[in-house]
Amino acid sequence: MHAITQSGWIEVISGSMFSGKTEELLRRLRRAEIAGQEISVFKPQLDDRYGETTVGSHAGRSWEASVVPSEGEGVWQIAEELNGEDVVAIDEANFFSAELVDVCEALAADGKRVVVSGTDQTFRAEPFDPLPQLMALAEYVDKLQAICTVCGEPATRNQRLIDGEPAHVDDPTILVGAEESYEARCRNCHTLRRD
């Protein structure tokens, strides 16, 4: 991969839950920090799994983050809070409104390296906006895979479980959780209740 150094760009880290997206985001931030780059990290108000102002991985690594509104014009708070940082990281992009796409485009146009992570599919295995739009516009896209908890094959789907059973296809799209409500599954082991 040839690194762009003369202008801004967008990197997207996507994949199913438990595929290491946030871990990869944190790895890139550590490298930027070692390189002496100034970093600003953001997360959506909706995600408080690892603390209100912390971006955390399932492996236990974390980074302090600013919390911004997930919906509408509030997403522009990301651009407003910057103070000369070189790298802008945004975790759980799937919880933000479509306005995040314009924010990322504006930041890249302003010379920023924008690193975004989030799951690209809902529990129904449908595109999880705004990730597909960000992936289409990004200079670099990495799609990570987890391991299916049923058969051990590479997993690309998010299996939502309610009391240990597959969620119904008509359940709400967003339910913030971790192991207690989601598993990584492959295409063949992913199921939805339709009754």
> Which residues are annotated as part of the binding site for ATP?
15-22, 91-94
Q: Which of 11, 23, 24, 92 is catalytic?
A: 92
- Contact yes or no for 11/131 (Cβ under 8 A): no
Q: Is the peptide bond before 130 cis (omega within 30 degrees of 0)?
A: yes
Task: Give the annotated binding-site residues.
Answer: 15-22, 91-94, 148, 151, 174-177, 182, 186, 189
Annotation says 92 is catalytic: yes
What amino acid occupies position 144?
L
- Angle of CA points 67, 83, 91, to nearest 5°: 35
Task: Give the annotated binding-site residues for Zn(2+).
Answer: 148, 151, 186, 189
Q: How far apart are CA 153 and CA 176, in angstroms?
A: 25
The residue among 27, 5, 44 whose CA lies nearest residue 142 is 27
Q: How far apart are CA 38 and CA 112, in angstroms?
A: 11
Helix, strand, coil share (%) of the chain residues, nearest 5: 25, 30, 50
Q: How far apart are CA 50 and CA 54, in angstroms?
A: 6
Show the tokens assigned to 188: 């063949």
- Please list the active-site residues: 92
